[in-house]
Amino acid sequence: MPGDVLLLSNSRPPGGAAPFAHAREILASHLGGRPVWFVPYARADHDDYVAWVSRALGQDIDLRPLHREPDPAATIADARAVFVGGGNTFRLLHDVRRLGILDGLRANPDCRYTGSSAGTNLACPTMRTTNDMPIVDPGGFDALARVPFQVNPHYLDPDPTSTHQGETREERIVEFHEMNPEPVVGLREGAWLHRTDDTLRLGGNTARLFRRDETPVELAVGDDLSWLLTPS
Amino acid sequence: MPGDVLLLSNSRPPGGAAPFAHAREILASHLGGRPVWFVPYARADHDDYVAWVSRALGQDIDLRPLHREPDPAATIADARAVFVGGGNTFRLLHDVRRLGILDGLRANPDCRYTGSSAGTNLACPTMRTTNDMPIVDPGGFDALARVPFQVNPHYLDPDPTSTHQGETREERIVEFHEMNPEPVVGLREGAWLHRTDDTLRLGGNTARLFRRDETPVELAVGDDLSWLLTPS
């Protein structure tokens, strides 16, 4: 069995609480005391990012800054657990590719994976369901495929009172399905997906599942979504 | 002097009015009776898209569907005016590159350019300030550079009541400036930029100007922004 996977929609809970305050229990249970390499490349200031997460989680988790390693690709190829933080998915994929970390993670499927926001996008077959601005060409959109479906983090329901004429999130996912077949789980703020062995469950908050040419369906906390791991 | 440029934030006015109802006068004045090739590739259904725009503008404008031409690249290389419609910027850039239309437009700088939303992104140095989902790899992010700055269409002010923990639009543009130097004009719904010869003016609605390491500034309808055409 490949390593377990925990995919969070977001790092910051609403209301200004500390990062991951909403997910401490699931993080501790998922990581189980393993040393965890934190991947900060989705943000510009890596030291600042690691300090912010360490202040929040350092007492629970043995968090280690990957960007401080002399050879991050070699470190990650031997890692038992990794935590890829959020920020800009284009910058993240660009940097982990350039530094050899993407290949290192692909060569180490047993490594327990944790992602938040952009880190969740990186675990999907491609980064094609990110919400981020394309501030840099990542050199290809393929990602890690640690799960066989796509996630849209920070999923937002349409606001019926809005006068904004840009696409709603649902319209953007319909556009995705005009060109791609993979199911998309829209994870609302506070939600996560947890894969252990061949079981997949939704936690933290509800989500919305989009499949090509089908009506979207609502998913509830605790739902068993294991069938998404073996796409037809 | 290269051909004049009109860049609209959006095609749909709020409230369900016909497309471009807010911009009929500026469109007629900008196009001045020229035959206009409409570029529908940002959306999946090209015939449907052209029919929707023709119903709204067909009496004012001599609108011609580029996708119906036997050799769209050759047609565009001789065109006197082009109108690139909105939709998904990644799909648009992917398709105009694949069909040779991107090179045709680059070889025809005198062609009068009109863009809306994704079509506005295509006129910028790169497509790196689009809001769209990256549903397909466009094969490079460089665009037409018909203006030397970036535009963010459908610019949205932060909502102080929101509990959403994704990045605000302003935070996304700050991320853009962490990796790119070009100024970004955030065009609110209903706004447009109009370049005639060496003059640039804002119309339709207000906008917000973002420059690297500077405090953003508000722009008013009628403001002369010609200085943005000769970046220091």
In chain B, the percentage of residues whose pLDDT exceeds 90 is 85
Name the catalytic one among A30, A46, A154, A194.
A154
- Number of independent structural domains in chain A: 1
What is residue A232's predicted lDDT score, i.e. its pLDDT? 61
**Domain contains B178:** no
A220 touching B, CB under 8 A? no
A144 touching B, CB under 8 A? no
**Domain contains B79:** yes
Mean pLDDT to the nearest integer, B203-209: 97
Q: Could you give the strand order of the β-sheet that contains A207-210, starting from the edge strand earlier in sequence?
A: A150-155, A184-188, A207-210, A217-219
User: In the predicted model, what is the mean pLDDT of chain B?
Assistant: 94
**Are the Cβ atoms of A135 and B164 closer than 8 angstroms?**
no
**Domain contains B135:** yes
B117 touching A, CB under 8 A? yes
What is residue B12's predicted lDDT score, i.e. its pLDDT? 83
**Are the Cβ atoms of A130 and B134 closer than 8 angstroms?**
yes
* Both tokens assigned to A20: 């991951």
**Are the Cβ atoms of B88 and A175 closer than 8 angstroms?**
yes
CB pairs under 8 A between A and B: 107
Rounded Cα distance, B69 and A76, in Å: 52
For residue B98, give how far its alpha carbon lies from the nearest alpha carbon of chain A (Å): 15
Q: For residues B8 and B189, is the Cβ–Cβ distance under 8 A?
A: no
* Both tokens assigned to A166: 């840009």
> Which tens digit of pLDDT belongs to each residue from B78-132?
999 999 999 999 999 999 999 999 999 999 999 999 999 999 999 999 999 999 9
**Are the Cβ atoms of B14 and A165 closer than 8 angstroms?**
yes
**Residues 83..102 of B with a Cβ closer than 8 Å to A: which?**
87-88, 90-91
What is residue A158's predicted lDDT score, i.e. its pLDDT? 86
Mean pLDDT to the nearest integer, A162-173: 84
What is residue A18's predicted lDDT score, i.e. its pLDDT? 84
Mean pLDDT to the nearest integer, A44-72: 95
Q: List C-alpha distances in Å: B107 to B63, B89, B176.
A: 22, 21, 28
Rounded Cα distance, B79 and B113, in Å: 10
Nearest CA in chain A to B10: A165
**Domain contains B179:** no
For residue A156, give how far its alpha carbon lies from the nearest alpha carbon of chain B (Å): 8
Q: List C-alpha distances in Å: B156 to A96, B4, B131, B171.
A: 31, 27, 11, 11
Chain B residues whose beta carbon lies within 8 Å of the beta carbon of residue A93: none
In chain A, the percentage of residues whose pLDDT exceeds 70 is 98
Nearest CA in chain A to B162: A14
Closest CB to A175 among B133, B172, B173: B133
> Which tens digit of pLDDT belongs to each residue from A182-207?
999 999 999 999 999 999 999 999 99
> Which tens digit of pLDDT belongs to each residue from B130-180?
999 999 999 999 999 999 999 999 999 988 777 777 789 999 999 999 999
DSSP for chain A? -PPPEEEES-SSPGGGPPTTGGGHHHHHHHHTT-EEEEE-TTSS-HHHHHHHHHHHHTTTSEEEEGGGSSSHHHHHHT-SEEEE--S-HHHHHHHHHHTTHHHHHHT-TTSEEEEETHHHHHTSSBSTT--S---S--S--B---SSSSEEEEEE----TT----SPPHHHHHHHHHHH--S-EEEEETT-EEEEETTEEEEESS-EEEE-TTS--EEE-TT-B-GGGGS--
CATH number at residue A177: 3.40.50.880
B129 touching A, CB under 8 A? yes
A214 touching B, CB under 8 A? no
For residue A176, give how far its alpha carbon lies from the nearest alpha carbon of chain B (Å): 5
Q: Residue A16's pLDDT band (boundaries 50, 70, 90)? A: confident
**Domain contains B177:** no
- Preferred mutation among A175, A187, A189 to probe B, highest tally of B CBs within 10 A: A175
Q: List C-alpha distances in Å: A51 to A23, A69, A91, A117.
A: 18, 16, 20, 18
- Preferred mutation among A135, A141, A213 to probe B, highest tally of B CBs within 10 A: A135
The strand pairing partners of A217, in sequence order, are A209
Q: Residue B2's pLDDT band (boundaries 50, 70, 90)? A: confident
Nearest CA in chain B to A157: B164
ipTM: 0.94
Mean pLDDT to the nearest integer, A13-35: 88
Domain that holds residue A164: 5-229
For residue B124, give how far its alpha carbon lies from the nearest alpha carbon of chain A (Å): 13
Q: Examine the pLDDT at B199 and tell me if it is beyond 90.
A: yes
Q: For residues A179 and A195, is the Cβ–Cβ distance under 8 A?
A: no
> Which tens digit of pLDDT belongs to each residue from A88-140?
999 999 999 999 999 999 999 999 999 999 999 999 999 999 999 999 999 99
